[in-house]
Structure 1
Amino acid sequence: MNERLQQLLHSLTTERDDFRVSLHLLEMEAKQEWEKAETKWDNLQLRLRDAGYKLQLETKEEVHDMGEEVDKLQHKLSDKVADLRVEWMEEIHELGEEIADLYQKIRKRFK
């Protein structure tokens, strides 16, 4: 029984570590996407400053498109975080059930 509990705890630790890695990768991906958006923003600002009002009118659509890209990124990240949360909650729930079953077996053995 003790060995099974150790296995369950090891599984839970592994799942926790995997979740951390997934979150870190998601954070890195978000940072890369944000850096791309920042680069576009910086380039756009330079072009607006250099070309003046005429360029501002010409880039109106680009500003709109960039806003849409930011919205898409926000939704993409929200969806990924929600998916990860559901997945990990299910895993934790299953491990909790296994631990509860093992606990009941241990209690029966010592009655």
Structure 2
Amino acid sequence: MNEKLQQLMQALTNEREELRVRLHVLGLDAREEWVHLETKWDAMQVRLRDTGWELNLKAKEEIHDLGEDVDKLQHKISDKVEDIRLEVAEELHELGEELSELYQKIRRHF
């Protein structure tokens, strides 16, 4: 019984580490996307300063595009976080069921 519980705890530890890695990778992806967006923002500001009014219309389009990119990134992050949250909830539920079964087996022996 004790070995089964240890195996269960090790499986949970492994799942936890895997989720931590997934969150880290998600963070790296988001940072890369943010750096890309910041680069676009900086480039747009330079062009506005250098070219003046004529570029104003183009800048409006780029601001709109930048806003859409930020919105997509926000949705992507929200979706990933929700996916991870659901995975964790499912894993915890399954672990709870396994622990409950284990507890019932232990009770039957005593």
User: Are positions 1:77 and 2:81 aligned together?
Assistant: no
* CA distance in 2: counterparts of 1:5 and 1:19, whole angstroms: 21
* TM-score of the pair, normalised by structure 2: 0.95
Query: For residue 31 of structure 2, what is the aligned residue in structure 1?
Result: 31
Query: For residue 65 of structure 2, what is the aligned residue in structure 1?
Result: 65
Cα distance per residue 1:4-47 (max 9 Å; x no partner): 00000000000110110010010111111111000100111111
Identity across matched positions, percent: 62
* CA distance in 2: counterparts of 1:58 and 1:25, whole angstroms: 34
* CA distance in 2: counterparts of 1:59 and 1:39, whole angstroms: 14
* CA distance in 2: counterparts of 1:45 and 1:107, whole angstroms: 70
Gaps of 5+ in 2: none
Query: For residue 92 of structure 2, what is the aligned residue in structure 1?
Result: 92
* CA distance in 2: counterparts of 1:79 and 1:43, whole angstroms: 29
Q: Which runs of 4+ in 1 moved over 6 A?
A: none
RMSD: 0.9
User: Are positions 1:43 and 2:43 aligned together?
Assistant: yes
- Residues paired across the two proteins, number: 110
* CA distance in 1: counterparts of 2:73 and 2:95, whole angstroms: 33
Q: Greater RCO between the two (CA within 8 Å, min separation 6)? A: 1
* CA distance in 1: counterparts of 2:63 and 2:49, whole angstroms: 14
* CA distance in 2: counterparts of 1:35 and 1:52, whole angstroms: 25
* TM-score of the pair, normalised by structure 1: 0.94
Q: Give, as a single letter, the amino acid of the residue that structure 1 aligns with 2:34.
A: W
Q: Give, as a single letter, the amino acid of the residue that structure 1 aligns with 2:22.
A: S
* CA distance in 1: counterparts of 2:94 and 2:88, whole angstroms: 10
